[in-house]
Amino acid sequence: MTGRAALAPLLLDMLASARGADRAVLAALSDGEWETIGAMAKQHRLAPLLHQQMGGRGSDWPVPEALRARWARGWRASAERALAVQQALIAAGALADREGLAYAALKGAWLAWQAYPQAALRPMRDIDLLLSGEDAVRLHAAMSAAGAVPGKFSHTPIDFALAHHKHLPPLHWGPQKVAFELHWRLSNPVEGEGRSGVAAATDALLARRVRATVGPADIAYLDPTDTLLHLVVHAAYGRQPFDNGPQVLADLAAATGAAAIDWPRFWADAAAQGRVGGARLLFALAAKYQGVRVAGEPDAEPVPARLVAAAEALMLQDMDAKAERGFATQIAEAGGKRGQAAFAWGRAFPPRHIVAHYAGVPADSWRVWPAYPVRMVDHGWRWLFRRGDVALDAEVADARDMRAWLGTGKA
């Protein structure tokens, strides 16, 4: 079995509620193969889910004691982190309410406290809040005045972020430095779209928001149906599809089990946004591994088995090679030598704040300039080092195949 790609299906079975991992296969794994499984679990923050499985359907799995202990520590760390994140969410929600700013907490914040039985099962790197563009800027200023500080790599100018990103530069708040991303839209800008249409879409989402209890507080969230579609878009239609890992399958199971979904609206909105393909693919995976059932799915041919297999592989892709994979995928889709040269030039000489982000220095620092050649050499060396990597080439092929089928890349 040995390699990461060969072990990925086994790890997915270990995480599943609708399937079982083959105990005989688990018993035959070498120490090195268990370490590979442990590395994949760490990269994709799966320790809490695996620890939970070990207490139930996986109680007789022959997992090495060291790995069992590591997953137990991951569970405890996630539970402690959830308390800090909860406190930060409550504080930010209270501040937004005092300032009269309409907001809605996104994805993880709803899943952790409204969908999963325990918040520790849904690790969160940060808290995402959706507001109108003007209100996002106002809350960013209010949080800064209340003690929030920019992160080490939060050097993107606000005006640039509003024009080119989906959220403002992250802020870190509280003793645990919980990161916040204040969104004015749910997905990154695309060429040719109208800003007024994006603002209207955000206004419609905020008009449907709901409120729910978190500890002693009342927090505003996206409507569950909108949250479900956002989960689909975030997982399948990012710059690199499915790089947020297999946690999304547990997310879909938790979301559909915890709330009444307006399925006709879900599928109508997915069709209007061109997201039906991604939704069908994710629900096929969620049905296979988590037993999720949906209603009102459009009549169509079954999702091709090759795409299901590609998605399974991409969900457990090596995140240490994320930059190289993204570069290889994009340059392959750049369109001939001229397009590839233009793409490579843009990557070599990006806007100043991107290099500042790489160097971890303020965008107005003189140290940005020497960071340009350092960054080019670093990225170039890593790219050359990965050239010919069979696993990376397979992931790039899967990503291109997936993007073409979803309509986000070239065939």
Nearest to 167 by CA among 129, 220, 205, 209: 129
What sign has the CA pseudo-torsion 83, 228, 172, 103? Answer: negative
Show me where the domains of the chain are located.
4-76, 88-222, 229-317, 319-406
CA R_g for the chain:
22
* Arithmetic mean of pLDDT over the chain: 87
According to CATH, what is the number of the domain 88-222? 3.30.460
Distance CA(138)–CA(133), nearest Å, equals 9
Distance CA(17)–CA(10), nearest Å, equals 13
Q: For residue 267, what are the contacts with CB-CB under 8 A and spacing of at least 6?
A: 276, 279, 296, 297, 298
Q: Are 378 and 302 in contact (CB under 8 A)?
A: no
Per-residue confidence (pLDDT) for residue 156, from 0 to 100: 76
Per-residue confidence (pLDDT) for residue 409, from 0 to 100: 46
Angle at 387 between CA 383 and CA 393, to 5 degrees: 110
Nearest to 288 by CA among 20, 23, 101, 72: 20
Per-residue confidence (pLDDT) for residue 375, from 0 to 100: 74
Distance CA(40)–CA(36), nearest Å, equals 6
| 163-192 residue pLDDT tens | 878 999 999 998 889 999 999 999 887 777
Q: For residue 340, what are the contacts with CB-CB under 8 A and spacing of at least 6?
A: 331, 334
What pTM did the predictor assign? Answer: 0.87
Per-residue confidence (pLDDT) for residue 389, from 0 to 100: 67
Q: What is the pLDDT along the chain (411 residues), one digit of tens a residue?
A: 567 888 999 999 999 999 989 999 999 999 999 999 999 999 999 999 999 999 999 999 999 999 999 999 999 999 999 999 999 999 999 999 999 999 999 999 999 999 999 999 999 989 999 999 999 999 999 999 999 998 776 767 888 788 878 999 999 998 889 999 999 999 887 777 777 889 999 999 999 999 999 999 999 999 999 999 999 999 998 878 888 899 999 999 999 999 999 999 999 999 999 999 999 999 999 999 999 999 999 988 888 898 898 899 889 988 776 666 666 666 666 666 676 666 666 666 777 767 776 677 777 777 777 777 777 766 666 656 556 666 767 777 777 778 887 876 443
The residue count of the chain comes to: 411
